[in-house]
Amino acid sequence: MRALARWREDFPVCESAACRKRPSPWRVLAGEKPGVHLQGHYYCGPECFQKAAQEIFSQLLPAVTRRQSKRHRIPLGLVLFSMGHISQPDLQGALQAQKDSGAGRIGEHLRQTGVVSEQQIATALAMQWSCPVYPLDSHRRFLDCARLIPIPLLETARMVPVHYLPSSNFLYVAFAESIDYTTLYGVEQMLDCRTEPCVATESSLEQALEELRQQPRPAEVVFDSVTDACEMAATARNYALQLGVTNVRIVCCGEYIWTRLESPAQTNNLLFQIPLR
């Protein structure tokens, strides 16, 4: 039994239904390149990998969406009012300014008038989202998480991974506006972890993002015009061949389809940005 298990580990069977190849040590001895694991399943060569990747991209494309935040029973303005940070005229004035401008967040309108501070807004957001406030401006652990998530995803979702606990496989992620649960779910799938949201002030989050941009990072390539599943699969195949990739994972992450390519030497991230139809 141990010998059979070792054989299956060393010479796995391709999981493509159309593949007719059988595992053989002779192909390895002849110099044939090993296959690729995609979503944990083994595919023996580029053709089988591309077909499987195309199917995954086709399934994920309908799930791509812009940022969607959870609706709350109590708006932020009322939370600030109930906490005693603003008066009723302050709230009415901010609502009117928001209506006149046709855009903007009510917290930003209130902060611009000087009636509330960034910290007060962060505290109110934390109460609104039922999560803790993270002191991002005084803790540097976010630098240890610099390589986990591609910068374009962080910038789009306005978030920063701030602390990772290997013992419990928990990743804490800070937001300054609203919590993007769609993106958090994609991160969980990609990194095989559990995420926990928290709130930070907007200035501290922007400063952290700027510092993360300066850190050494895995290669991150954004494609904003590749929107067809067949073309995306062909692109992933080409990168996999060029980089000697052994493991690939593909997830939907907000408005992106995030493809992570792992080889013994490096990790590369392909981000396919999908416009809303």
Domain borders along the chain are 2-63+219-273, 76-129, 141-214
| pLDDT at residue 263, as a whole number | 94
Contact 200, 134 (CB under 8 A): yes
| pLDDT at residue 56, as a whole number | 97
Contact 186, 249 (CB under 8 A): no
pLDDT in tens, the chain (277 residues): 554 445 455 568 899 988 877 655 544 444 455 789 999 999 998 999 999 999 999 999 998 876 555 555 678 888 888 889 988 888 888 888 888 876 678 888 888 888 899 999 999 999 998 999 999 988 888 999 989 999 999 999 999 999 999 889 999 999 998 899 999 999 999 999 999 999 999 999 999 999 999 999 999 999 999 999 999 999 999 999 999 999 999 999 989 999 999 999 999 999 999 986 5
From 94, 82, 81, 54, select the one nearest 226 (Cα to Cα).
Answer: 54
Structure tokens at 139: 């803790």
Distances (CA, A) of 157 to 70, 80, 192, 205: 14, 24, 19, 12
| pLDDT at residue 239, as a whole number | 97
Structure tokens at 141: 């652990």
| pLDDT at residue 100, as a whole number | 80
**Sheet of strand 247-253: strand arrangement:** 41-43, 36-38, 247-253, 256-262, 267-273, 219-223
End-to-end CA distance of the chain: 53
| pLDDT at residue 7, as a whole number | 43
CB atoms inside a 10 Å sphere around CB 30? 8
Q: Which superfamily does 141-214 belong to?
A: Type II secretion system, protein E, N-terminal domain (3.30.300.160)
Q: Which residues have C-beta within 8 Å of that of residue 33, sequence separation ≥ 6? A: 45, 244
